C-alpha cells in the first residue's frame, strides 16, 4: 500500500477544540531504521501508510492539534543506544515541542554512563524499554541500575508491556510486579493499556502505586478495538492514571481519529483534559515523586 497523503483537511475540530493535546507515544527514528521498522510490520501483513519524510509527519501532528509529544526511542541490539539518543537529542532540540525518551539495551556496556548522558547532560525525561523487541522482561536484573537512576532523578519509564503486535513471555505486565515492590515510587507508563490480556492487572498496579500510568496508544479510534465498558469504568475510577498516545506513525489508522474517538467518549470535559494533557505533563514533572 502506498503512503497516504497527509491532508490538512477536516482537522479544524481538533485544532480549535479547547483541549490541549499531548501525544505521549510516538516513534521517530533515522530514515533507514524507521523504514526497517515499518517494513517489519508490512511483512506481518499490516498496512503502514505513514511513510512520509520526518518533517511531513511532524507537521501533520501539529495540523491535527498535537502541541506536545513523547518521542520513544528503542533499540533491538546492544551498542545502538548512544547513536539513537544523540539523534533524538538533535531532533528534539530542533522541535522543542518533542520530549525524547532514551533508548537503552540490557546488554549495553556501561549502561549507567549511557543513561547518565541522556538523563543528566541532555535532560531527557526518561527511557523507553520495548520488551518485545529487546527480548527482555522488565524484571530482568540487568535493568536494576536503570530503575535506581530513574527513581533518584524522578524520571520516567515508558514500558512496552503488551501483547501487541505479538504476545511474548517478555511482555507480560505480571513481570512489573517485582520491579514495583523494589521501586514503589518508580514513574512508569504501561503502554497500550496492557492490552489485550493484561488490562485488569495494569489498572490494579496503577491503583496501587502512585506513579504508575497507562497509555492509550493504538487503542482508541482503532477499528480493531471496540470501546469496552471496563475501560470506561477504569478511566472514571482513576482519571489521573490514563494518558493519551497514538503510536504514530507505526499505525494503520488515522491519529486524528484516535484523538476524536477519545474526545467522543462519554466522559466529562475535565477527565478528557486529564487524558489529553494534564496527566502527561504530570509524568514529565520531576518535582512530583
Residue 256: other Cβ atoms inside 10 A: 22
Residue 82 DSSP SS3? helix
278 — pLDDT class (breaks 50, 70, 90) = very high
**How much is the mean pLDDT over the chain?**
93
For residues 175 and 289, the model is more confident at: 175
Q: Work out the angle at residue 235's Cα, subtended by the Cα atoms of residues 230 and 240, and round it to the nearest 5 degrees.
A: 155
pLDDT at 28: 95
Q: What percent of the chain has pLDDT over 90?
A: 85
For residues 287 and 216, the model is more confident at: 216
277 — pLDDT class (breaks 50, 70, 90) = very high
pLDDT tens-digit profile of 77-104? 999 999 999 999 999 999 999 999 999 9
Residue 54 DSSP SS3? helix
Q: Is the pLDDT of residue 125 over 50?
A: yes
Cell numbers placing 260: 476524536
Q: Average of pLDDT values for 56-72?
A: 97
Residue found under cell 528503542: 74
pLDDT tens-digit profile of 131-190? 999 999 999 999 999 999 999 999 999 999 998 888 899 999 999 999 999 999 999 999
Q: Is the pLDDT of residue 120 over 80?
A: yes
Instruction: Note the residue count of the chain.
Output: 289
4 — pLDDT class (breaks 50, 70, 90) = low
Cell numbers placing 199: 488490562
Among 54, 4, 62, 51, residue whose Cα is nearest residue 29: 54
Among 219, 271, 225, residue whose Cα is nearest residue 245: 219
Q: Is the pLDDT of residue 76 over 80?
A: yes
Residue 129 CB contacts under 8 Å (≥ 6 apart), including other chains: 74, 104, 136, 138, 143, 146, 157, 158, 159, 160
pLDDT at 18: 58
Q: Average of pLDDT values for 244-261?
A: 95
7 — pLDDT class (breaks 50, 70, 90) = low
pLDDT at 44: 86
Q: Residue 62: in which H helix or E strand, if any?
A: helix 54-63
- Specify whether the CB–CB gap between 172 and 140 falls below 8 A: no
pLDDT tens-digit profile of 23-42? 999 999 999 998 999 898 88
287 — pLDDT class (breaks 50, 70, 90) = confident
Please give, one letter per residue, the 3-state secondary structure of 224-280: CCCCCHHHHHHHHHCHHHEECCCCCCCCCCCHHHHHHHHHCCCCCHHHHHHHHHHHH
pTM for the whole thing?
0.93
> Judging by beta carbons within 10 Å of its beta carbon (0-12, 13-18, 19+), is residue 245 exposed, middle or buried?
buried
Residue 71 pairs in a beta bridge with 26, 100
Amino acid at each position: 500500500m502506498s503512503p497516504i497523503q497527509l491532508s490538512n483537511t477536516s482537522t479544524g475540530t481538533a485544532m480549535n477544540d479547547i483541549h490541549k493535546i499531548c501525544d505521549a507515544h510516538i516513534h521517530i527514528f533515522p530514515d533507514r531504521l524507521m523504514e526497517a521498522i515499518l517494513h517489519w510490520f508490512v511483512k506481518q501483513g499490516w498496512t503502514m501508510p505513514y511513510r512520509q519524510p520526518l518533517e511531513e509527519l511532524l507537521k501533520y501532528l501539529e495540523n491535527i492539534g498535537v502541541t506536545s509529544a513523547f518521542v520513544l526511542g528503542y533499540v533491538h541490539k546492544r551498542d545502538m543506544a548512544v547513536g539513537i539518543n544523540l539523534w533524538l537529542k538533535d531532533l528534539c532540540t530542533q522541535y522543542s515541542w518533542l520530549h525524547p525518551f532514551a533508548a537503552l539495551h540490557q546488554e549495553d556496556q556501561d549502561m549507567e554512563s549511557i543513561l547518565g548522558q541522556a538523563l543528566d547532560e541532555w535532560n531527557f525525561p526518561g527511557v523507553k524499554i520495548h520488551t518485545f523487541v529487546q527480548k527482555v522482561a522488565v524484571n530482568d536484573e540487568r535493568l536494576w541500575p536503570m530503575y535506581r537512576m530513574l527513581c533518584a532523578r524522578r524520571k520516567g519509564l515508558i514500558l512496552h508491556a503488551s501483547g501487541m503486535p505479538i504476545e511474548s513471555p517478555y511482555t507480560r505486565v505480571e513481570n512489573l510486579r517485582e520491579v514495583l515492590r523494589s521501586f514503589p515510587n518508580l514513574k512508569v507508563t504501561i503502554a497500550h493499556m496492557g492490552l489485550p490480556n493484561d488490562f485488569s492487572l495494569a489498572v490494579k498496579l496503577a491503583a496501587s502505586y502512585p506513579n504508575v500510568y497507562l497509555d492509550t496508544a493504538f487503542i482508541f479510534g482503532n477499528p480493531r478495538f471496540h470501546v469496552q465498558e471496563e475501560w470506561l469504568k477504569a478511566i472514571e475510577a482513576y482519571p489521573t492514571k490514563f494518558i493519551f498516545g497514538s503510536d504514530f506513525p507505526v499505525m494503520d489508522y488515522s491519529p486524528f481519529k484516535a484523538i476524536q474517538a477519545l474526545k467522543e467518549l462519554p466522559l466529562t470535559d475535565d477527565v478528557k483534559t486529564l487524558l489529553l494533557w494534564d496527566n502527561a505533563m504530570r509524568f514529565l514533572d520531576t518535582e512530583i515523586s
